[in-house]
Amino acid sequence: MYAVVDLETTGRKTSWHDRVVEIAVVRLDESGRTVDEWCTLVNPDRDLGPQDIHRITAAEARRAPRFADLAGQIVARLIGHTLVAHNLMFDAGFLTAEFARLGHQVPVAAGRGLCTMQLAGQFLPGVGRGLGSCREAAGLPPHQAHSALHDARAAAELLAFYLRRAGDPPRWAPLVHEARRIAWPALIDNDLAPVTRRRPEEREPHFLTRLVDRLPRLNDPKGDAYLDLLDRALLDRHISASEADQLVATAEQFGLARVDVEELHRGYLDSMVTVALEDGILTPAERRDLDEVAELLGLAGADVDRALQAARVAPATARPRFRLNAGDEVVFTGSMTPAREVWAAGAVAHGLTVNRDVTRRTRLVVAADPDSMSGKAEKARRYGVPIVRPEAYQAMLDAGRA
Q: What are 9-23's pLDDT values in tens digits? A: 999 988 888 999 999
Question: pLDDT tens-digit profile of 27-63?
Answer: 999 999 999 999 999 999 998 988 888 889 998 999 8
Helix (H) or strand (E) holding 21: strand 20-28
How far is the C-alpha of 4 from the C-alpha of 92, rounded, in Å? 11
Residues across the chain: 402
Q: Is residue 119 over pLDDT 80? A: yes
133-137, 166-170, 288-292, 319-323: least confident range: 319-323
**pLDDT of 338-363, one tens digit each?**
989 999 999 999 999 999 999 999 99
Q: Is the pLDDT of residue 401 over 70?
A: no
Same fold, 2-181 and 329-401: no
Q: In what order do the strands lie in the sheet with 353-354?
A: 353-354, 329-333, 362-367, 387-388
Q: Which architecture characterizes domain 329-401 according to CATH? A: 3-Layer(aba) Sandwich (3.40)
Residue 242 and residue 365 in contact, taking contact as beta carbons nearer than 8 Å: no
Each domain of the chain, given as residue ranges in start order, spans 2-181, 207-313, 329-401
Give the integer Cα–Cα distance in Å for 59 and 204.
9
* Position 84 pLDDT exceeds 60: yes
What is the rounded CA–CA span in Å between residue 377 and residue 332?
A: 9
353-380: average pLDDT: 94
CA atoms within 13 A on the CB side of 384: 9
Distance, in Å, from the CA atom of 37 to the CA atom of 81, rounded to the nearest integer, reads: 14
pTM: 0.79
| CATH number belonging to domain 2-181 | 3.30.420.10
- Band of residue 402 on the pLDDT scale cut at 50, 70, 90: very low
Q: What is the mean pLDDT of the chain?
A: 91
The residues with which 354 forms a beta bridge, in sequence order, are 330
pLDDT digits (tens, 9 = 90+) for 214-229: 655 545 666 888 999 9
pLDDT confidence of 160, banded at 50, 70, 90? Answer: very high
Side chain identity, residue 276 = A
